[in-house]
Amino acid sequence: MIYLDNNATTRVADEVVAAMSPYYTAVYGNAHAAHRLGRRAHDAVEAARADVAALVGAETEEVVFTSCGTEGNALVIRGLIDAPHERTKIVTTAVEHPSVLTLLRALEQRGLIELATVGVDSSGAIDLDAMASAIDDRTLLVTVMLAQNETGVIHPIAKIAEMAHGRGALVHVDAVQAAGKIAVDVRALDADFLTISGHKFHAPKGVGALAIRRGLKLTPLWYGGGQELGLRSGTEPVPSIVGTGVAARLARKHLGDFDRVRALRDRFESSLSGVEIHGSSQPRLLNTSNLTIDGIDASAVLRVLDDAEICVSGGGACFSGKTEPTATMRAMGKPAAVRFSMSRFTTDEEVDATLSVLAALH
Ligand code: PLP
């Protein structure tokens, strides 16, 4: 089997599995218990928090563990709406992850926010003039992803943050796809909130993190024991948090490996003929290749790859043999596409084998 769907999720690194194991069998205390087993679990959670903070350039005290990227995004958006606020407008883009876009649309429908959704051009670049006009003195929050999950296009967050802060609005960055693939620094981005998710960088599923600029207040999504600065009540999943800390450390150590991944991705793309590669004129994640093959429906490509035991991602529903484009592809004015996303574990041989299967399609 060849796995080229690393933007969907990643294999848990061996070092991560090894580090988690003792926290299931020996150090299984509740991280909030006062006894020694609890204190050891607590210390492990705090060490992981420091590692995750370092991955995104935040202070350790600014990081709250969540269950996933979806929860981190919801905690920021709902946490601001549920807190006392005077401004009610939220500005976002048409290519955000559904965890942001569908939530914002639901809040808009319920009359809780005014929503402005800024479009992108055919290369996936955000319309910055439209963004500048959309952000005004009523804007509470501007929420924009750092790297787009389907195309890998990297957005100019620092520029957008300058526009937002200039109007007194807060800035949330969904960095779920970026963390572990490119350097992420919450200060350089000038973000007030930044979301990541462990399973995108070789940690287990079930742990995300939200960096919250010191001094900013959110209302929790639910109430209980007051864990995670009172923002995320519920007994912490200590083994998974420990694993996420180790994965964050490994991600920083292996960031340079993405030079090799980029070379692989570029060789993959330049070996293909009769394809359109979406977002390729923009700054892009080094591991992502999103493409349409001339004259061949995305669903047919996906079927052939699946038969060859090659895992990639399509997105979009299939209607009577023709695949509908995803919301992101529609926003770019593009047809349904196929996403290949590599990791530091992807090999030359896997890329060669994938190229042979694609070559046979023509
Ligand atoms: N944001 C982006 C950009 C994503 O790509 C994803 C997952 O694909 C999420 C948020 C949601 O993350 P999670 O799966 O951890 O909830």
Residues 249 and 330 occupy one common structural domain: no
Q: Express each pLDDT in 58-117 by its tens digit.
A: 999 999 999 999 999 999 999 999 999 999 999 999 999 999 999 999 999 999 999 999
pLDDT for 139 equals 98
Axis-axis angle for helices 238-253, 36-56 (nearest 10): 30
> Catalytic pick from 308, 318, 353, 357?
318
Q: Domain range holding 45?
A: 14-253
Q: Please tell me the distance from the alpha carbon of residue 49 to that of residue 62, in angstroms, as a whole number.
A: 9
Residues 249 and 273 occupy one common structural domain: no
Residues 247 and 268 occupy one common structural domain: no
CB 337 within 8 A of CB 278: yes
Is pLDDT above 70 for 320?
A: no
Residues 309 and 219 occupy one common structural domain: no
CATH at 32: 3.40.640.10
Residues 297 and 231 occupy one common structural domain: no
Residues 314 and 236 occupy one common structural domain: no
Boundary of a domain, candidates 224, 253, 282:
253
CB 96 within 8 A of CB 253: no
pLDDT for 31 equals 98
Residues 266 and 243 occupy one common structural domain: no
Q: Is 318 one of the annotated active-site residues of the chain?
A: yes
- Pocket residue to mutate for ligand 1, from 176, 221, 326, most atoms within 8 A of Cβ: 176
**Total number of domains in the chain:** 2
Atom number of ligand 1 nearest to Cα 70: 16
**196 Cα–ligand 1 center, Å:** 8
User: At 362, is the pLDDT very low, low, confident or very high (cuts 50, 70, 90)?
Assistant: confident
Output phi, psi for 120, to 5 deg: -125, 165
CA distances from 343 to 11, 28, 202 (A): 9, 32, 9
Residues 245 and 270 occupy one common structural domain: no
Residues 285 and 319 occupy one common structural domain: yes
Residues 224 and 289 occupy one common structural domain: no
pLDDT for 317 equals 57
Q: Express each pLDDT in 250-302 by its tens digit.
A: 999 999 999 999 999 999 999 999 999 999 999 999 999 999 999 999 999 99
> Taking the mean position of all CA atoms in its chain, how far away is CA 51?
18
Atom number of ligand 1 nearest to Cα 148: 3
pLDDT for 321 equals 61
Whole-model pTM: value is: 0.97
pLDDT for 319 equals 60
Boundary of a domain, candidates 197, 231, 253:
253
**58 Cα–ligand 1 center, Å:** 20
Residues 292 and 317 occupy one common structural domain: yes
> Tokens at residue 127, please?
């319309």
Can you tell me the mean pLDDT for 189-198? 98
Boundary of a domain, candidates 253, 284, 308:
253
CATH at 260: 3.90.1150.10
What number of other Cβ atoms are within 10 A of residue 73's Cβ? Answer: 29
Residues 136 and 92 occupy one common structural domain: yes
**157 Cα–ligand 1 center, Å:** 18
